[in-house]
Amino acid sequence: MPLFKILEEYGCESLTHVSDRASGLSALIAIHSTGRGPAFGGIRTLSYKSHNAAITDAVRLAQAMSFKAAVADLPAGGGKAIVIAQPGMKRQQAFKALGRAVARFGGNYYTGLDVGTTREDLYAVAENTSFVARDLDFGKATARGVMAAIKAALMHRHEDDEIKGRRFAVQGLGAVGSELVTMLHAAGGEVIVADTDAKLAAEVGEKMECEVVSAARVLAADVDVLCPCALGSIFTAANADSLRCEIIAGSANNQLATPAAGSALLKAGITWVPDYVANAGALIKGVREHEKGGEVPFSVVDQIYDTTLELLKRARKEKKPPHVIAEAIAQERLA
């Protein structure tokens, strides 16, 4: 798809290519919206099949950040940085160069952690800009928000948000997934875990005394709540009927392969909490700390409970998939 058409389709304000020959950096910074405040969005470091694929990912993720901020009613917009991982890149130098690029936005873009990026990378970025959340515990903040979304979805379906005695499957055991397993286990939930890294899955399973299944089997696990915490595009119109859960709520971005998948989940009787509603914890904490100029408690992310409950109530009343309602709320507020 031509570049300008991609930007127009997603309503993106700007797309910047960042190149630094000395370090081998090739990166993109997509700013979707600054209408409600500065754009917030982390740095994703991945290899891509093509530049077009990287551009589409950056713009789509930036839009999701705008929707996330709007549905959470934050004074912020959405952005995303993509570092295109490639052989020979001098990592520390590359992220320092990216920091210089972030600084040039003059506070209109505030960044942090995302898939493939490490805390050491953020410290390199921070050498050249103050517009980076290098010390925020992204995993804990996001996992706490997912817990709030899960409890709200349980309350919506059962008028009871008790975790104890219910079954949960967590797909993906990175910083968020592992923290979520710990929280669910502590609350008395029966947890099944899976990760493409079999060794990691075994370690988490042993530590938390929970069942481990293969990454290929976890989506079909017979559970109350399925928690996708890996990469996106996992739910399709074709696989909705094969799922054996009542609720889906997790931290993975862009979980629906297509919008039709959301309708298929509704038809299958599954309550799906849109990803950018459930995974907004780190954004909420980051924006509030940016506003205050200092640390705020993790309890600030608990607002996701009320946001999720109201969203699901409206979706039921209007007989529409939750993602349609979430996008309508976001578009109303962005307008």
Give the torsion sign (CA, 199, 82, 277, 304): positive
Residues contacting residue 71 through CB under 8 Å, at least 6 positions apart: 274, 276, 277, 280, 307, 311, 326, 329, 330, 333
Amino acid letter at 39?
Answer: A
Element (H, E) at 123: helix 119-126
User: Among 68, 80, 96, 140, which one carries the catalytic annotation?
Assistant: 80
What angle (nearest 5°) sits at the alpha carbon of residue 304, between those of residues 303 and 310? Answer: 100
Element (H, E) at 203: helix 198-208
Respond yes or no: is residue 90 known to be catalytic. no
Among 201, 323, 190, CA closest to 255: 323
Among 44, 109, 68, 67, CA closest to 284: 68
- DSSP letters, 53-114, are HHHHHHHHHHHHHHHHHHHTT-S-EEEEEEEE--TT--HHHHHHHHHHHHHTTTTSEEB-B-
The torsion region of residue 169 among left (phi > 0), alpha (psi -120 to 50) and beta comes to beta
DSSP-derived 3-state class of residue 278: helix
Q: For residue 289, what are its two tokens? A: 């700390």
Bridge partners (DSSP) of residue 170 are 193, 227
Please list the active-site residues: 80
